[in-house]
Chains A and B, each alone.
Chain A
């Protein structure tokens, strides 16, 4: 009998992703669904999709979900979690959603140490609306609203969300990962698991930032998009653990 070694995660619905070929959302969705299955928390998890490409995330996750208006995910998740403290609540957000229109909600949910998890998909552009400048668009990057490249004095600088939020005492865990190779995908999955674990242990706000390819709006092939993340984007947004107050991490620090 053939042994099944790879299949659709139990808690992704049978729907075909609407995401473009080479987009990172589908991988991120899959990883989150896998972790939820492995932790056995599907029945007690509520997800909050954003406005943006992932607005239809509830068509894919087989979880209780409620949409948030653009940027308001962490406020809505706060209401859910405070009402149902024993449930797992996550907000899934893009860069415009989290770092532009929703920076106040994100910053203050983090500062209150809300015991929720934010999955932050950073692809350096507004995807759904057609590739405009995002708060995380890097300098010189061309978008439909920075046709000559992002200019520091005219358009400002890329916002570094993990670096910013990790300063707040309410944040338990902040890690930036990417999806450009199987090794990176595995690392990202571990980060997602750790973030949920933080919530389980009621440590506070956890965020996993995922540098995610957007071949369509970057006007690149999927492979070139991954290369661009490795060679350019991750130089601006270093892959790192910016905050980790889990007991294991604290012990490691003491040992060093």
Chain B
């Protein structure tokens, strides 16, 4: 298979097109512009491919809603403030059970924030984000290869569960270049029965989230909840790194996990600290029991995030008091080096002794 050297944003675009994405709508926002530009350059060359630069993030999410209903594989992308604008549509996509992929290349916030890499949108992504009782599957890729693989998988899971899937990366992932191999996409499995293409001579279909009767609406909520339960049982992904003999486990995802990996290597080489890494790949569903099972023999965990502590709450919920949890955060676009993080971890570990 051919290896390509590409930037993260371009990789997402290429993986999406290879996975059969044929409708992309987006609006310029840094640090994800290269993705929109990649789609502009390549989507219209793909058979039946539609690229639209929308008038807003809001319009983009509703454009992909229409295209998803019509049966296309669809994607939109943005960065933090733009993702806030898309929440109305993400809620609708969940309610109407329309498969779709949403990419968030996070930047510093809140408000306009800055355009530096950050992880402050974890709560928004993993708790639904918009109004109402729903979840989205959330991937937190940490390498360019994972950006390619998870983008393709996102389309498959979106179809399988008829639900929006979010790729939660940050400006660092979007901008960095790494060699990547694009795997062969799986053939699409999505029933035409779910598509809205005109009723022909048959019975007309309705796609809607408006259910005025409270009991019917309750049942729709439970139906979605049952689906989320199946996803939680079947789709959890995570990576462990050097946890077998670890005395301290760092919990981190995405860019933060890359930095943590570097820090752990240093700690083992220079400081003789037996540190390991637990890296959730699906941020929702969160690998709760998998993390908890580590607490049988390891009693010290340190959460590192490029935020003031959001995934930290999921780690607390997972460990349920069975282990001590420390936290190190660098919000607002500040990105520590592995050496800095190694020092933080070493100090934390020494104090524990």
Q: B-contacting residues of A (Cβ < 8 Å)?
A: 42-46, 48, 55-56, 58, 61-69, 72, 75-84, 87-88, 104-105, 107-108, 112
Contacts and interface: CB of A to CB of B under 8 A. Distances in A.
Contacts of B62: 68-69, 72, 75-76, 79, 105
Interface string B41-68: 0000000001010111011101111111
Interface of B: 22-23, 25, 50, 52, 54-56, 58-60, 62-72, 74, 88-89, 92, 96, 196-202, 204-210
B130 to A, nearest CB: 10
Contacts of B199: 42-43, 62-64
10 closest A-B pairs by beta carbon, nearest first, are A79-B66, A79-B67, A75-B62, A83-B70, A108-B55, A76-B66, A72-B62, A80-B66, A66-B207, A79-B63
A132 to B, nearest CB: 20
Contact of B56 (A45, A65, A104, A112): A104
* Interface core residue of A45, A67, A75 (most chain B CB under 10 Å): A75
Contact of B205 (A64, A75, A79): A64
A133 to B, nearest CB: 23
B70 A84 contact: yes
* Interface core residue of A61, A83, A84, A87 (most chain B CB under 10 Å): A83
8 contacts: A45-B198, A64-B198, A66-B206, A67-B96, A67-B210, A76-B66, A83-B67, A105-B58
B196 A79 contact: no
Contacts of B52: 78, 82, 112
Given A66-B66, A67-B209, 13 more contacts: A44-B200, A56-B210, A62-B204, A63-B198, A66-B65, A66-B196, A69-B88, A79-B64, A80-B70, A81-B66, A82-B52, A84-B70, A108-B54
Nearest to B71: A83
A75 B198 contact: no
B115 to A, nearest CB: 24
Nearest to B68: A79
A71 B244 CA distance: 55
A76 B92 CA distance: 12
Contact of A65 (B22, B74, B201, B206): B206
Contacts of B67: 79-80, 82-83
A79 B70 contact: yes
A88 B197 CA distance: 10
Nearest to A41: B198
Contacts of A107: 55
A142 B64 CA distance: 39
Contacts of A55: 210
Contact of B200 (A43, A67, A76, A88): A43
Nearest to A43: B200
B65 A44 contact: no
A250 B190 CA distance: 46
A213 B101 CA distance: 42
A78 B53 CA distance: 12
Contacts of A62: 199, 204
A67 B96 CA distance: 9
Contacts of B58: 72, 75, 104-105
A19 to B, nearest CB: 15
B196 A77 contact: no
A94 to B, nearest CB: 15
A75 B197 contact: no
A77 B199 CA distance: 16
A241 to B, nearest CB: 27
A13 to B, nearest CB: 8
A69 B52 CA distance: 20
* Interface core residue of A45, A62, A68, A77 (most chain B CB under 10 Å): A68
B196 to A, nearest CB: 5
Contact of B63 (A64, A65, A69, A75): A75
A43 B197 CA distance: 9
Contact of B208 (A67, A87, A105): A67
* Interface core residue of B25, B68, B69 (most chain A CB under 10 Å): B69
A76 B197 contact: no
A87 B197 contact: yes
Contacts of A69: 62, 88-89, 92
B205 to A, nearest CB: 5
Contacts of A43: 198-202
Contacts of A83: 22-23, 50, 66-67, 70-72
Contact of A64 (B60, B72, B196, B209): B196
Contact of A72 (B50, B89, B202, B206): B89
A77 B196 CA distance: 12
B191 to A, nearest CB: 15
A48 B199 CA distance: 14
A81 B66 CA distance: 8
A76 B65 contact: yes
Nearest to B202: A43
Contacts of B196: 46, 64-66, 80
Contact of A66 (B22, B59, B200, B208): B208
A55 B211 CA distance: 11
A108 B209 CA distance: 25
